[in-house]
Structures are given as C-alpha cells and as structure tokens.
Structure 1
Amino acid sequence: MKAVAKLFVFVLCLECLFAETPIIGGIFDYDDMDSKAALLASAKRFEFAASIKDVSRRGAILETSELVCQLAQEGVIGIIDGTSGRSTEHVQAICDVLELPLIVLQHNDLYTRNWSLINLYPSPTAFNMVLEKLIAAKNWHNFTIIYEKGHSMIKAQDLLKLSNPIEKEAVSVRELSGDDYREVLINAKHSGYVNFVVDCPSNKIEEVLLQAQQVDLMADEHSYIFITPDLFSVDLARYRYGGVNMTGFRLTNIQKDEELWDFTARYNEETGYSLDPENMKTKILLIHDAVKMFSKALSKVAATAASLNCELYESWTYGSSIFNFMKTNKVQGLTRSLLFDGFGQRTNVVFDILELTPAGNQTIGTWSNNELVISRPIVSNAEIAEETIMKNKTFKVLISKTGPYAFVKESSQKLEGNDRYEGFTIDLIEKIADILGFSYEFEVETDYGTLDPVTKKWDGMVLKLREEKADFAICDFTITAERQSGIDFSTPFMSLGVGILYKEPSKQPPEMFQFMAVFSDEVWYNMVLVQSALGVVMIFVGRISHKEWQNPVPCVEQPEELSNQFSLANSVWLIIGSVMQQGSEIAPIALAPRVITSVWWFFTMVIVASYVGTLVAFLTIEKNVMPFQTIEELYAHKSISYGCKSKGSTKQFFQDSSNPIYQKMYEKMRRKGWLVQDNDIGVDLVENSTYAFFMESTSIEYVTERHCDLLQIGGLLDSKSYGIGMKKGSPYKFLIDGALIKLKETGEIQKLKDIWWKEKRGGGKCGEQRKDDDQQLGMKHMMGPYVVLGVGCCIGIVISTLDMLWGVFKRSVKYKTTFKYELIEELKFAIKFNGDIKPVKRPPKMSGSVEALAEEEAKDEVRSLRSIRSSDTNKTHHSHRSRHSSSSLSVAFARRRDYS
C-alpha cells in the first residue's frame, strides 16, 4: 500500500510539473500596441501565457472570426476582445457556441441582451444615472450634448428627457464629424449655451479641447462634463488657468491602490514608458482587471484547458462554469468593484467626480451605489477663488529631523501630533498654512529619495510623493534635475551651495621676531641704506660748512688747528638717536646740517608712528595656519580624509560632476568608506579627527554658530536651492509658490532663519566678545624684544671687554709691566663699583736725571690734556657755550697736581 501511495504522489508531482500554463487569448487592432503590452504585463503578473491576435483592419469580420477559431484551437481559457463595433457580435457568437468566456472592454452600440459576454466598461445605464444627478447638482437649466459621429449617444440619451420648454429648460444636440469640429463648435457657441456634455472616444479628447479653445469656448463662463473616464489621463495644464470648468469621472483610486502602482511599473517596464498612474487609460486598466477575473475564476473552478474546433462545434466543458463565476462573484480590480447584472453589464459602478477649475484639479464628489455624494459644494466659476483648492483641507507633510529645519521639541510633558516638532521648516509651513487656510499633519522620513540606476525606482520622500502617500515634503530638500524628473518643487525658499567644514586650527602665537614683520624686508633694507647714505651726507655737509669747524681749545685765541664734530661715529650716532626717539649730544651748528637733520627727524617721526601703530596688531593677532585653502589643495593633501553624506544631493554633486578632481574624490570617498549616514556624524568626525566634511552652506552656517572650533574653508563648490516637494502636476504648486513669494517679500523667511540659526538652540554662541584677558600681551608676544636687549647687552659687554684688554695691553707696554699685573689692577678697580675718578697709571721707578723725569711727565701731561680736550669736545650737549668753557680743563689740571 505504501508503494502505491508513493507512486500516486509521484504521478501527481509529475502531472503538476508538466502541467501547461493557462493561456488567455486577446484580439486587438493591429496598431493597438498599448493594449497588447497591457495584456502581456497582466499575464505575467497572474502567471498566464498570452496569445495575441492582430486584426489587420477595423471591421474585418471574417478575419476576426478566423482568429477566434485559432485561439480556441490553441486551448485558451477565455478571450479578451479589444476591438469594437460589428466584429464583436461575431466574436460573441462563436464564443457562445464554443462556451469560451468572452470579456469586452468598450461599450458597443449594437449590444443586445441575448449576447453572452461580460463587459467591463461601465454600462450606459450607469452613465445616464450619474449624468442626470450631476447636472441637477450643477443646476444646469440648459446645455448642449456634443457627441462623436458613429455613436448612438446611448450613454446620454436620458438627458434628452430633461428638456422642458415650459420651465425654460432646453437641451440641444451637436454631432462632431470628420477631423475638423470647429464649425460645429462655433454653431454651439452662437446658440448661447455655455454648458456642454461631451461624449467622444478618449483618443479624441485632446483634439476636441484644442479646437474648442480655438473658437473661444474655453473661457470662464464655460463648463464641460466629459463622459469618458479618461479626461484626467491627458495633460490639461494649458486649460487650467483659462478659467474653464471641466468635470469628469475616474474609475481608479490613485491614492490608496498599491496594486495600481505595481501594475503601472510593470506596464512601463513592458512598454518603456514612464507613465504615472493618473495617466493610465481606462482600457489598459480594464485589461488588467479582465486577467485578474480569469485568475480568480481558475482559483475557484478546477478547470483544464482544451483544444476546440470551430468546424466541429465543440464546446469547452468548464467554460460555462468559469463564465458564471465571473459574472456572479465580486472581484476588486484596479477600476474598483467588478459587479455585473444578469446580462454581464456593469451597472453598479464607483466613480470619483473630479473638476478642473481655476483653482486646479480637485475631487468634488463620489458616485457609489447609484448615489451621488458631493464633498464640496458646487459653485459657479466666478465664485471659485484660488484658495478654495486648499481651504479647510488637511495635508500630510513629510519632514526630516535635521537641525535647524526640524527638531523633536524638548518638553517635560508628553506631546502629541504636530506639537512634537519645532524648527525652521515647521514654522515656515505654519505661515504658509495661515496664508492658504489649510491644516496639516507631519510624518518623519529620513530618506529624501534617490532613483535606483538599475531598477529605475524611487525611494524615500520622492516615492511617497509620487504614490500620493504624502502631499508635501518640506526640509532641506535640494532641488536637483533628477528629482525634478520624478516630482515637482515649489519656488526655492533658500539658496545655498556645497562648502567644506573643517576644524579651526590652533592659533599660532607670534614668532620671536614678529616685530620685525611690521615692515617688509624691502623697507628694512632701504632704511639701512638711507641711514648709511645720510651719514655720508652729514659728514660731507659738516666738512664743507665752516661753522662746523670749531676751536678745540677756546683759551687759545689763535689756534693752530680746528676740529669738526661730524665724524663717521658721531653722524651715525645722531641718526640712530633720532630713529630711536632718544636724541643725542651731537647738535648741528651750521644751517645746512640743521635743515638736513630737521628733515630726517620728520622722516623718523612718520616711520616710528607707522611702526608703533602697526606693531600692536602684529603682536596681539594670532593667525590661523590653514592646512588647505581650496578643494584642490585638500585633494592633494595626504593626511586629511574627507567625505559627505552617503545619500543626498551633495554626494550626487560629486558623483555626476564633470570635473575629474571631483570624480576622483568621490571614488576615494566611496572606496575608503569616508561617506557618513548623516550630518551629525560628519560634524563629530570633523571635531575629533583630521577630517573635512562636504556640507551644504546653510548647514555649515548653523553648525559654526554652535561649534566655535569649526569653520568653513574656501568658497562654495556649486549653487543650488531648497524647495517644497510635491507630486508631478500638483494643483497646489502655484498656490505654494505664491505664498513663498509673499513671505520672501515681507522678510518673514529671513526672520525665521535668523531665529533658528542665530538665536534658538544655542545660536549666537560663537559671536560673543573675547574677555579682556585675551587682549593682554603675554611673554610669548614680547620675547623678541627681550632677546634683542639681551643680545645687544652681550655685544656691548664683549666690545667693552675687548676695549679693556686693548687698554691693558697698551699700559703694560708703556709702563713696561706684565699684562697679567695690569689686568688684575684693572679688574680690582672695576669691581669696586665706587668712585668716578680713575688715577692715571705712573711707572713705579724711572732712572735718569730730574730733567728727564720732568720731560717725561710733561709729555704725559700733554697727552693727558689732549685726551681730556677730545673727551670734552665729544661731550658737547645741548648748549654750544659749554664746549668753550675751561672748567673741565682746570679740573683735570688740579686732579693731576693732586695725584702728583
């Protein structure tokens, strides 16, 4: 028994393994490529195979019948008829004989109740009911029915009953024929009627609208109701602001139907289109629903396909069961509930009633269960103000918790709803809502949205806006070309660019000889040259000025020689004393030296004043030494890493840049893992490591107001803007734009920026004044002058030591003593530090006569007098008279006599 059971299971597995995929047949016109693609996409979605037959020309009845038989022979489980007109009657007849389920997608004026098929297109009964209720709600007393030639106007025939001449209610009818409708439309215009009901195929909508506009039938006073559910699948932007009111129907629920978005993606993949769900034609959606009905039926009816022969009048055993299941069971499709009456007609339909008004595209009501529910009062176009489109509505707004645009509010109490958040964009949307009169609720989304290059699918905020899971996105949402291909943006509310955030390097104290940097090297060199040249000039002028030649011994009336004070040493001393603002004992006597000296004093006054005035800034200002100034220098730097956010416009800027350096930097960032998840991580890396962070300038401005050790280096790498994101073709865009422009003009946006950047949440912290202690000069600032003083003193000591040694040497030779003896005697006198009179050294003994001794002493006296005279001449100070006094000589003679 076990072996038999195993064999039975094995056979079942083989049967399941080799079971053929069910086939759905489709008959379409040869040029109806969109419908064929829809069937292929739907068949893949529900795991069917699709057999598609092309009708070479419209109305080819025999050819269509032959194609039906071919499909039956292939063993299809049902047929979807995408043609219309008389050929459908023959297709239905053959399918009725073969008992093959038949689904049609369009209304057929030839339809009779004995046809055995299912029609997914709303029935004329449904259209008549909703039109009658809608016209009553609009309070139209007269209107014109415009229909395309070739239709029996069956979908609007009940409207003719509304005409009542007694109550001054009239209905007129106009037929559109050919390709030029302008004559018919002009006649309709001359009738004086301003309300129109239009029944035309979906492929004729744009032509009808265009020609109506050309004959001036699209003004404020005109209103239209289009019977086709495809009105809002075409681009109506050019008529939106013309003032015309257009009403139409929609079978789908775009906002809440995820299956619709999935099918749209599959259809776009199959066709290569990039359509949005609202642009999908009704026929395409009905093909999906037809395949879904077959899928639901096969899941309930255990049926196997069979090859049928039209010539033998064979019938499919399971055909009637599947047909009855589809006709009697409710299936939820893209066009909502699929319910049929006993004749396979779809009478219980759910419609959204939409209007295109001066305020934009908006839903005004719903048709469900044969009842019209108006959600917004129907008013005349003249009474429709622009703000009514957003007035008293509630919108979902996406935000991102990125400072300062949005924060979680700090509170000791538990907050709910919108009260949980605060920030720049929170205040901005509040002001916009006050202007336009709407309400909103926030939803946090961290991912702004990027397009996957492989799957071509969006994520983040962009995806939610496209799927209408949210109405607006307001944050640091950068307007990029890629995002604009998927959504719309408002006018920018903030302009910015990418900058480099880096840690401020520690301030470098002035160098030891920073005071020398007050003047350039060229100025210092020229000053030395000028002083040297001036010394030569002073010597020359002093030598040619006769007043500068003075009697060295005033008591001698007829001196044998004259002396001049302008030696090289004296001239240089005069010049240096002037520069140092100390003066000197050298005073010019003649006019020419005095003029030159005066001009030199003026020159030194200007130089010294300039030097002193600039010296303070040079000593107190501590300069930053930046490791790089430009992005090129950063790229060349080997020890500094850099990065940006792993998602967002900044990364996209480097990735898409045509600059080879930017491309290499992006590759290096990606390869080394320097990209970060959010700005906070990047700021932390900048503060605590050797890391440069590419960040949007507004965010850098915010960060540097709170992190005083950070700064922006260099200029902006690009220019871009922030905007409010919304879905493509949003009816609210022009209203949001107007509100933003108004806020810009009144300065409200700038006020909000100042509040959130410079005041709240620690703003303005880095703008505080330095403490007074920070302005004091420390030892590090004044080390240079101390070093100069020390070096100068050391040089003076060395020179005086050499001078002393030279004097010791001369005395040892003169008095015939040892050098050591004279050095010890000299040091003994020097280290006593008392007395300002030094006796002249005498030799201890001298041989010879008294006359020789007197002669030697006289020579010493003469040499001493000359030395004293020279010293007295050099000590000439402010008064010239002191140089002619003999007091010093008398003192010298007295001291020598005392010593003797």
Structure 2
Amino acid sequence: MKTAERWISVTVLLMFQTIGRTQAFESIELAVGAIIEKNDVAQEFCFRKSVQEANKLLQRHDSQRRGIQLVPVIETIDGDDSFDASRKACRLLERQVIAIYGPTTPTAVDSVQSLANQFEIPHLQIDWGYRQSTRGFALNVHPHYLAYGQALYDYVRKAEYWESIALIYYEEESLLKYDYLLRNFDQPVMLRKWEVANDNHKYVIKQFKTMQTNFRFIVDIPFWEVEEFLFLAKKYNMTSQYYSYVFTDWDIQLVDSQAFNVVEGANITTFSILRPTGDEGYGIRALLDDVRLSAIHDERFARGSTPKRISATQSALLYDGLSLLALGLLSRARTSDIAPPTDLTCSSSRGWSPGISLMNDIKAIQPENFMGLTGTFQFDGHGWRSNMDLHILEYMPDGFRQFGYWNMDEGLVVTKNFSRTLQEMQSELKGKVLRITTKEEKPYVMYQGSVVPGEPKSTDPKHWRGFCIDLLNEIGKELNFTYTINLVPDSTYGNAKIIDGEEVWDGMVQELRTRKADLAVGSFTITYDRDRVIDFTTPFMYLGISIIYKRIEDKRSHLFSFLQPLSAPVWGYILAATIMVSLVLFVVARFSPYEWKINHPCNVNSNVVENKFNILNSIWFTFGALMQKGSDVVPHATSTRIIAGFWWFFTLIVISSYTANLAAFLTVARMESPIENAEDLAKQTKIKYGTIQGGSTVAFFEQTKFPTYKRMWQFMSSQKGVMMNSTEEAIRRVKREEYAYILESTMNEYYTKRDCELMQVGGLLDSKGYGIGLPEGSKYRDPISETILKLQHSQTIDKLKFRWWQEMDINVSCDAKQTKKSDTTSLGVEKVGGCFVMLLIGMGASLIVSLFEFLYDAYQRMAHSKRSLHEEVARAFRFSTTTSSLRSRMAEEATKLPPIHLSGCVTGEKTNFGSALAYAPCLPPPEFPPPKPGLSYTNFIKTPVVADGPQFGVGSDSSSSAPAIEIKPRPDSVVDANDLDEPAVHDNDSRCILQQQHSQQQRQPLPSYPLHRYPEPAVDSGFMKPPGLYPPDENVNEFDDDRTQQQWLAGPSPNSMGLPDPYPLTAQPPLRNIPSNNWDDSLVDHRVGSRSTLSNAPDFLIKKVSC
C-alpha cells in the first residue's frame, strides 16, 4: 500500500513538473521592436509577417522545446525626425525589446543606432548603410556599397568593354556606392540627376539624345521610376540596339514586363541579390503576396503606400534579418537562459549585458546553416555582410535571364554561353576580306558600274547595289569584315548531275565546294540537296514558288453598264418608292388646307383657290428631286414639307452611293484570267509554262510526288523552249505570248508591283527560304547566322526589303493580287435598305401631320358654322376629294358669316349712317338696286340722308331687301379732292388701312373711288366688328389743326377686285399722307376715320388690297 502511494506521489510530482515546463515553454516571449514611418502600412505588415516566419523557424530548429516566441512591438515616426526616433527608441527599451529594426531614413537611423550602441541592443538594418557606425551592435544584412561598386566596374569593363559611361542618379548620397567605379574608370563619367518633381528628368534624356556621345548608361533610380524612364527613352529613340543600360535598383526584374515592350534591341542589365526563382522553401513572391494581401485589407492602406512601392529586396532582407535573430537566440539559449532586459530605460547607466553575446552568436552562423531569401550570410567584425552573390541579369524578350554572377572571392563569372563564343567569332572575322560569289538578279544583286567590253565586271562592292549587297554591308558592320564580288561563270545557282556515277555540281554550289568563294549570296534557296554538300546560314527571307501571268481586261461591257453600280432589286425599289412617294404627296397635299392657295397673284381676295400638287405635279416633284434638279412646285404645308424632306434625304443617300460606285465601275477595270491556280495550268495545253534553268524550282518539280506538279514537270520537260535563262527574258515572253512563268514569290512580288500588266496567279506551291551559302564546315557560319538573327530582331532586314520592293526603281505601284472581278460590287438591299426605311418614316409622319391639319381646320370651321365636327369633316372631305385642283371656295367660306342687319338714324342736325365694307371677299354676290339718279362720282354731299330700303342677308334670294342710302345733292357742299388736308391720326378703335400701288412717277391727285356697303354680321358672332362709314362729328375737337373733318373712306372698286359693287358712294381719299418717295410701286397706309356720335356705331376698317 505504501509502495502504491509512493508511486502515485512520484507520478503526480512528474506531472506537475511537466506542466511547469509546458507553462515555462509557453511563457518565454521576447519582444522585437520596430520604428517605421507613419502610414507605411506595407513595411509594417512585412515586419509582422517576417516575425511570424521567424517564429516558425524557431519551432523547426528548437529541438529542446524551449518555447521561445518573438513578439512584434511597433512604433511610428513622422519622416526623418531624429528627435522623434530617439524618443520612440526609448519607449521600445522600456517595453523590454531584445532588438530594434529601423528606421530607414538617414538622420533617424543615426539616432537609433547611437542608442542601440549605448544600451547594447542589436540594431537590425537593411539599407546601404552609408553612415553605419563601426561599433559592434549594428547588424546590416544589406550588401556593402563598396562591394557593389566593384562588381559594377567588373561588369562594364570586363564583360561589356564600355568605353564611356553616363551616370543618372536619384540622390546625391547614392553616389557613394559608385566610389570604386568612379576612381578606377579611366574615362570621364558624365553625371546627371533624375529629378521628377520639377520635370528635370525629361530634359536629362533629351540632353543625352542631343549630344549623341553617350550610348552606355548606369541608371540609379527607384524601380517605380523605370517605366517612366523607358517611356522617355523610347520617345527620343534611345531604345535601339546601340544603347545599353544598367539599372542598379535591386527590384528591376520584378517590374511589370509591359514596361519593357518599348525596348527595340537595347541591352538592359540589372543586379539582384535575390535567389533565382524555383528554389524550394518560402520564396520572395509568396512573401510579397502575403504583404500585399494584408496591406490591402487595412483601412490605413489608402493613406499609405501602394502595393507597387513595396520593395521586394527590402522585404526579403527584413525576413532574413529576423530569421538570423531567431537562430542567434536559439544558439544563445543552448548555453544560457534567455530573458528580456528589465529596468532598462534611456536614463539607465547600464545596458543589456546579453546583447553582445547575442550579436556574436548571430555573426557566428555559418553559411551552410542558413540559406535566406537573399542567399548565404557572412559578417565581418563591424557587422557588415562580407560575402554574397550578386546575380547579373540581362533582359531578353521573354524576361530577365542570368548573365553571370559576382562575389568577393571569384569576382565576375559569366555564365552566358554564347557571349564568350561571340567574342571569339568576332575576333576571327575582324579585318577579313571575304570572297563573294553571286549571280545578277533584280533586286538582289545589280551592277551599277561601267561595263568595258571584253573585261569582267568590277569586284569592288561600291559598283554593286541591291538587297543582298545592303545585307552584306550590315553583316560586315557587325562582324568587321569587308568583301569582294565575283559573278558565277555559268550564271546558275547550282544543281547536281550524275555523270559516270558521280555527283557533279555546277553554279554557285560548285564555287563553294571548290573553295573558290567564301560566301554565296543572292536569291539562293536552301534545299536539302544543297545542304548536304554546303552549309547555309539562318534564312534571311522566306518565300515559295508561284506563277506569274499577264492581266486580261474584262471585255463583257454592255450598253447598260451604267446600271451595274446598283443591283436590279434596288432599281426596282427606287422606282416603286418614286411612285409611292408621288401618290402619298398627292393625297397629303389634297387633305392639307395649307396647300390650297389663291390662283390669282394680284388678287388676294379672290374666291378661287388652287392646289398645285395634282398627280402630274407630284410625280414631277419627286422625279426632279431624284434627279437632283428640283421643280417649280414647292410644298407649303408642314405635312408636305415633311415628306419632301425625307424624300430629299433618301435621294441624297441613293444618288451619292450610286455616283461613288459608278465612278469605281468606270475607273477600275475588271480582270479575268483563264487560269487561277496550278491545277488550271496543268489541265490545259494552250498556255505554255516553264521556269529558269538550273535553279531550285527545277529540282522541286523533278523530285515532287504531288500528281499535279508531276504532270506539270512532264509538260515542261517535253516542251522545247519553255525553260528560260533569266527572269527578265521570261517576263518579256509572258507579256508577249501565251506563256506563264514559274518563279519564287519574292520575284513575283517585285515584278507585279512595277508592271501593271502582270499578276500573280494562285498561291504558293511550297515554302522555303533564302540563305547565305558557305563551304562545308566553315567557321563563319555561326557568327553570320547570329548576326542575321540580330538584324531580324532589330527589323533591319524588313526595312531593307521594304526599301527594295516598295521604294527603289518603281514608278507605278500596282496591285499584284489576282481578282476575278473588281473590288467594287453592286450595292445590295442590305446596304441601302435604310434609305427606304427612312422614306417610309417620312411618309408616315407626313400623313399624320396632314390628318392633324385636316381635323384642326374642320374644328375651327365647326366653331363658326354651328355644325358638328362630323359634318365639317364630311364637308371638308368632299372639298378635298374633288377631281379639280381649281375651284371657288365662296360657298364654303360664306358659311362662316351669319345673317346681318344694317340700319342708320338721324338725330337733329347730326346725321349718322353705317355701311359694311369689304369684310368677306368670298361672300356670294348680292343683288342690289341701281344707284339713285343724280349721284355724282366727282364730288360728294356733306349731309347725307338715310333712307329705308329692302333688307338683305347672306344666303337670301333676290327678293330680299336691304336698307339703302340716299344721297341728296347740295351745291354748297361740294369739296374738291385736291383741297383735302392730310388725314388726322385717330384712335385704334376707328381706323382704316388703305394700300394702293401707284405707277406714277410724280405726285398726282388720286381719282375718286366709290364707297361700298356690305352686310354687317351680328355683334355676338365672335368676329371683328364690320367696317362702317360715318360722317365726322363737328363737336369733336380732337384734331389739333384746322384740317377739315369731312373725311370719307375711299378705296378701289370691288369690281376691279372681282368683288360685287353694291350701292356705290362717291368720295375722295385723303392724299397728303402719301410720301412722295413711295408713289412708284409702293404700298401706302392711309389711316383715316372719325368718331361717331352714336355709341353703337361700328368702327371702320378696310381690308388690305395688294395688286
């Protein structure tokens, strides 16, 4: 029993010890401080993420389960404030940190480093460290700036052989890292500062372009400024193959690849301390992704830095620095207990004693024990990173590739294989004079020197020109060689023949096999047979076999070719549209009251109205608009103008389209050819065809397995005279005879662009390339091939081809494409159908507006005629649908006026009378009795007497009566018309407007005009009061002069206007108000009248008369 109790006690004791150890394991937390600029969210999250990864590293390497955990403690400062940085460092000391990271600004870092050295706290740094103290508590994981300068010098001097350098820098302090380069480079270095704030950086690039003395640049700017730099370099054409740039920012290789699309061959190099991608473990891209993701989700991110400003290298260095701190803590924990510093403040007189031991443990970490994101680590006694690999990266179209690396032990190591080989090959060709064999062929090789009979042509390159000559010149510039030109004796490129069982070659191939030439240049096709006996460079041009034939114009023109621009359905639709619009216009004009006009131009009061848009005029109007001529009939109503406007729009589009297409039909000749491809050529025998002797085309047909080409070869080999000795001779035969010539597509393109009588038939029969031939095993092949690739990359070969095919020796540029018919085709309904849609819309709108006008006019008539709207619509419809366009409207207008009554009275000596005048010109003519005897037409009686007479009204018969006015003559009341004074200006209630056109050149007395009386409408009819004639009132003293008040209305006789002349009265008009300068062909207003002593006397108004 006691034994059991003893075992239980031991078990409980061991359990408590284990629990105590677990609690101790979980309780060891060490704070790591950081001083970061305020709102630098990215750096803050990078620090936190690096601490997390350092804790993972502790867990993996802590075999004794000591339970060490790092806790991030962050303080922020405003910019480069050294005082604030010192204060925040003291606060971190009070929070018992075992190490401090940051800040990164130059002045602030000096203050923090000073406190770290005083209190023996490790100070982690990740920048160039230009001001770093030599005391032992600064731990800088960044490469030393002096070492970087030495690596840069080795590259530009030993690898690239730069003879001159221009240095563009961002900050003056950064020039310290180029101390070694500037002291050892034996040529002057031009320095320029990159200042974005005042746009000085734009002038820096422009200055270098203007000087044209510097083509090698060292660019020390932040990685986020690289895109702007390349854009400016592209703007000033400084991205070609002649320029080289070394960017010194660590993160250039992480810049978006789109920024380098402007590079056109320039050599771009950068240095990096990041390990190449693809290594196992937590990589830099994973770290950056985590930092960006964390920063973006922070609300302060909008006020802080942006993701593109996150430095990959600085993030990797911070990650490596905290990992080294974690490994140092593990190493220290193996020999002694780890405890955070206590009671440590800036006022303390002592420091943290374990700090120096921790620094020594960190520096003692061997490279094989830790591989960080920036490589291995090794420190000197001052805390500098003493050895690391600087990776040299070179930009290629698919990204940055490693050129080599540099370290303190080995120096510059170039790993780019072809770089060293290219140097050797260039040295082999430098200064050489190569022998060129060729054959004259446009536009490849052409002789431009003088020809002496009996003497060979000159071998000097200056006497030769052509595409291949320019290509040789470009290659010679790159490889530093010259050449001489010799024509091949048999003027052939080279074919093999079997003679006595042996293969015998001729032409240029034989020249190379016998080593009589170093290079064979021209339209030299790479074939399998030739490649067996000689070497070829990389093809500089790709082509195929094609057929050239003469153009044949289309002879199928006919009398009605002018109808071809539009298809037959479109012509039918246009005719139908013309008829339809004419009918719609006729109907709309009939129903629109605004198209009915008085047909007599000199008599506006005529009862006869006319509609100009009869069926013939409607057709003439639409046809005239279609022909772009117009007509004498013009629309007046809104409805007719709408349909006219849409018809004009329709004709504008149709006629414009027809005119444009007709011009193309008349100027572009349609071409036809009896053959369209090689199949057509092989099926017939009328057109002969052949190719050049001794060329690769002959070998192609001889060795072909394709049935069509075999049949063609059988024909060519059986016919005599179809094989040609030269291309120029073949072209002349093609134009002269029924002959098709088979040649390379590049030659076909050259001739068809210069001779419009030629065209290419069909496509390519095969695909091949031109290359430069060399003797088998020639050591010149690789450098020339690489140079050709370089010229292709820089588009130099494309420029040469464009020059010789498109610009040189060309007068007329012709379209070489085969076309069975002209590019211009008939316009179908699908192309011009929109015009018809617009026309339908216009006709619909016109009909709607016409209906509105018709109903509105009927509604107005209904208000005066007391009829219903239905009745008025029916009457108006009958009026509009009559067959004649000329009719009287009196019957319709008279319905507007109700019966009237006219009366007069006499009071004492004051006599008043009224008479309706000129109110309704469309009234039916009433029947009146003849004038009373004794009425004078040359004078008038002052005192008239009103006599009763028969009453009459509108629409009454001849038996109806009306009041009459009887005039009794008095000899003493005669007034001569010439004695009348100017009329007085009366009020607006009683006025008369008389407009009379005179033809006299001098002022003459107006003749007497008879006065007329017309029926007077009722006062409640809603119309203006009818005009009346009343004698003047002698008691009225409105007139301020002594002019006579005996003023009567005078006007032209209604008979002269086509109106009835009932009961004429004589009176003389006032004359003196007519201006003398308006007598001839003028309209004169006479405002006359008088007040009546009767309160119910109507005002007097005469309607305007224009004749």
Same fold (TM over 0.5): no
> Normalized against structure 1, the TM-score is what?
0.38
Greater helix share, 1 or 2? 1
Q: Which has the larger radius of gyration?
A: 2
> Normalized against structure 2, the TM-score is what?
0.32
